[in-house]
Amino acid sequence: MSPTTLTQIGRYRILGELGRGAMGIVYRAEDPMLNRPVAIKTIIMSADPEVRGEYERRFHQEAKAAGGLNHPNLITIHDIGREGDILYMAMELLEGVDLRELMQRGRLELRLALDILAQVADGLAYAHERGVVHRDIKPGNVMVLPNGRAKVMDFGIARMRASDIKTQTGAVVGSPKYMSPEQVRGTVADGRSDIFSLGIVLYEVAAGTAPFSAPDTAQFMHQIATATPPPPSALNERLPRVLDLIVARALEKDPDARYQSAAEMAADLRSCLAPLPEAGIDTSLDFDLNLTTTRAARSTTAAPRKVDTRTLKLAPLSAATDTGMHFVLSRRFDSKAGLDKLADLSRSAKS
Query: Domain-by-domain residue ranges, the chain?
Result: 10-94, 96-345
Of the candidates 308, 313, 277, 315, the residue with the CA atom closest to the CA atom of residue 111: 277
Query: What is the Cα–Cα distance from 118 to 150, expressed in whole angstroms?
Result: 9
Q: Strands, DSSP E only, in 189-344?
A: 302-304
Give average pLDDT by consecutive 10-residue segment, the chain, 351 residues: 74 92 84 94 76 77 82 93 88 93 89 96 96 92 94 69 38 74 92 97 94 90 94 92 96 97 97 73 33 31 50 52 41 53 60 56
E strand or H helix at 105: helix 99-105
What superfamily does domain 10-94 belong to in CATH? Answer: Phosphorylase Kinase; domain 1 (3.30.200.20)
**Which residues have a Cβ under 8 Å from the Cβ of 333 and sit 6 or more positions away?**
245, 249, 264, 268
Task: Determine phi and psi for 166, rounding to 5 degrees.
Answer: -95, 145
pLDDT of residue 119: 98
Asked if residue 219 lies in contact with residue 213, where contact means CB atoms within 8 angstroms, the answer is no
Does 136 participate in catalysis according to the annotation?
yes
pLDDT of residue 350: 57
What CATH number was assigned to the domain covering residues 96-345? 1.10.510.10
The DSSP 8-state label assigned to residue 212 in this structure reads -
Query: Given 31, 115, 122, 136, which residue is catalytic?
Result: 136
Asked if residue 304 lies in contact with residue 16, where contact means CB atoms within 8 angstroms, the answer is no
List helix spans (H) across 45-91: 49-67
Answering whether pTM is above 0.85, one says: no
Asked if residue 63 lies in contact with residue 40, where contact means CB atoms within 8 angstroms, the answer is no
pLDDT of residue 329: 46
Asked if residue 206 lies in contact with residue 257, where contact means CB atoms within 8 angstroms, the answer is no
pLDDT of residue 120: 98
Q: Helix 241-250 to helix 335-350 angle, to the nearest 10 degrees?
A: 100
Q: What share of the chain is helix, strand, coil (3-state, %, to 5)?
A: 40, 15, 45
